[in-house]
Chains A and B, each alone.
Chain A
Amino acid sequence: QKEVEQDPGPLSVPEGAIVSLNCTYSNSAFQYFMWYRQYSRKGPELLMYTYSSGNKEDGRFTAQVDKSSKYISLFIRDSQPSDSATYLCAMSGNFGNEKLTFGTGTRLTIIP
């Protein structure tokens, strides 16, 4: 079993829809959870960062962490064509410079 599971997609939704992206994980020691966005021919850029369980909102983006279910989500409201990208989840434990474990990424296309 992979440490982090993420559906690679592709996922296509119409403009204005709510998008839900998800990752599951197996390591209960993970405490830090991140979402990166990667546009075509670019490197990943950090979108959201959460610690432990709960929700975090930033504009149209909401990150949720459910540690009891080992499940994290990224919601995008009022999706725009500019949101079309690959979304990577990443996570790590709580031990100083422990490395990030990434999901495979979900390729998202917003259809105008």
Chain B
Amino acid sequence: ETGVTQTPRHLVMGMTNKKSLKCEQHLGHNAMYWYKQSAKKPLELMFVYSLEERVENNSVPSRFSPECPNSSHLFLHLHTLQPEDSALYLCASSQELALQETQYFGPGTRLLVL
């Protein structure tokens, strides 16, 4: 495996379910990110981790809970989601937490909340 991988690639869940999205980067990077991509909207940064410490939470509702157990793995725990949370959730990583660093994106998890 190379680059940034995400599982599952597709997820359908009810509003009362609890599920988790997983991201793994094989690049030796120190920073990881969660983004939300909705149709006809710009990419929205949700969370930023640097060396396993959360450094940014962009006013994301508490029904989204990130976890970064080590610098290679990032999770997004989901519970009691709403239909408007349906979107493509993208994970990214960069060598360091600096703007000049290129961010490498995973393929995303396509989430549908019913």
Do A42 and B107 contact each other (CB < 8 Å), given the known contacts A4-B42, A97-B55? yes
Docked pose: A92 CA to B110 CA in angstroms: 27
Docked pose: A105 CA to B39 CA in angstroms: 10
- A43→B99 contact, CB < 8 A: no
Docked pose: A83 CA to B36 CA in angstroms: 24
Do A44 and B99 contact each other (CB < 8 Å), given the known contacts A99-B56, A101-B42, A104-B41? no
Q: Does B100 contact A (CB under 8 A)?
A: yes
Tally of A-B Cβ pairs under 8 angstroms? 54
- A99→B40 contact, CB < 8 A: no
Docked pose: A92 CA to B102 CA in angstroms: 13
Docked pose: A90 CA to B4 CA in angstroms: 20
Which A residues are CB-close (under 8 A) to B103? 46, 100
- A43→B56 contact, CB < 8 A: no
- B56→A8 contact, CB < 8 A: no
Q: Which residue of B is nearest A8, CB measured?
A: B40
Q: Chain A, 31-53, contact with B by CB distance < 8 Å: what is the 0/1 string?
A: 01000000001111110010000
Which A residues are CB-close (under 8 A) to B114? none
- A102→B4 contact, CB < 8 A: no
Q: Which residue of B is nearest A41, CB measured?
A: B107
CB distance from B48 to the nearest CB of A (A): 7
- A43→B42 contact, CB < 8 A: no
Q: Does B108 contact A (CB under 8 A)?
A: yes
Q: Does A88 contact B (CB under 8 A)?
A: yes
With A43-B4, A43-B108, A104-B41 known, 16 other A-B pairs at CB within 8 A are A4-B42, A41-B107, A41-B108, A43-B90, A43-B105, A43-B107, A44-B43, A44-B105, A45-B105, A46-B103, A46-B104, A97-B99, A99-B48, A100-B43, A100-B45, A104-B40
B residues contacting A by CB (< 8 A) are 4, 40-43, 45, 48, 50, 55-56, 58, 90, 92, 97-100, 102-108
A residues contacting B by CB (< 8 A) are 2, 4, 8, 32, 41-46, 49, 88, 90, 92, 94, 96-105
In the A-B complex, the 5 residue pairs with the smallest Cβ-Cβ separation, listed nearest first, are A43-B105, A102-B43, A102-B42, A97-B97, A44-B105
